[in-house]
Amino acid sequence: MNCTKHEEREATGTCVFCGKFFCDECLVEINGKNYCKEHASNAVTEQAATNQQPNIVINNANSNVNTNTNNNNGFGTGISPKSRTVTALLCFFLGFLGIHRFYVGKTGTGILFLVTCGFFGIGALIDFIFILLGSFRDKYGMVIKNW
């Protein structure tokens, strides 16, 4: 294999940084590792960085003037975009089938309600009470408040 820079010379090693083959003239040994002259400065900088404590500069001179321009219709505000009226009606009439849980995105417990007839009616009744009190939550943990 020949040197990458001097094609007439036989390569004696590879640079651990770039992996190319180089001759004795092009290689530099630093801490027992061979680097090409192009990447030797990176090795010296890396070695110096490992021997120093980091210099951390925090500049908080500017006042924090962040403005939220998020317009996502209820998402991220803690209030679900789902309707509490629809959820309450679904729970009252079809709660034993878990349809209200499918409506708010809780598919897993909706299937469980479907199989167990709304936990034998008790689960549907508890959900209906939570919906009326305004503390029933959707799939994302947001409260369903909007009538």
Q: Please tell me the total number of residues recorded for the chain in this structure.
A: 147
Q: How many CA atoms lie within 13 A of 115 on its CB side?
A: 6
Residue 146 to residue 139: CA distance in whole angstroms: 16
The range of the structural domain enclosing residue 33 comes to 13-51
Residue 104 to residue 118: CA distance in whole angstroms: 15
Task: Please name the residues in contact with 56: beta carbons below 8 A apart, sequence gap of 6 or more.
Answer: none
13-62 pLDDT per residue, tens: 877 777 787 777 777 777 777 877 777 776 656 655 555 566 666 666 66
Q: How many CA atoms lie within 13 A of 67 on its CB side?
A: 1
Burial class for 114, CB neighbours closer than 10 Å (0-12, 13-18, 19+): middle
Q: Is the pLDDT of residue 101 over 80?
A: yes
Kindly indicate the confidence band of residue 140, based on its pLDDT and cuts at 50, 70 and 90.
confident
Same domain? For 24 and 85 the reply is no
Same domain? For 81 and 33 the reply is no
Same domain? For 79 and 47 the reply is no
pTM to 2 decimal places: 0.48
Mean pLDDT, the chain, integer:
78
Mean pLDDT of 95-108: 90
Q: Is the pLDDT of residue 66 over 80?
A: no
Is residue 104 helix, strand or coil?
coil
Is residue 32 helix, strand or coil?
coil
DSSP assignment, residue 82?
S
Mean pLDDT of 116-131: 89
The per-residue pLDDT for 93 is 92
Total number of domains in the chain? 2
4-17 pLDDT per residue, tens: 777 787 877 877 77
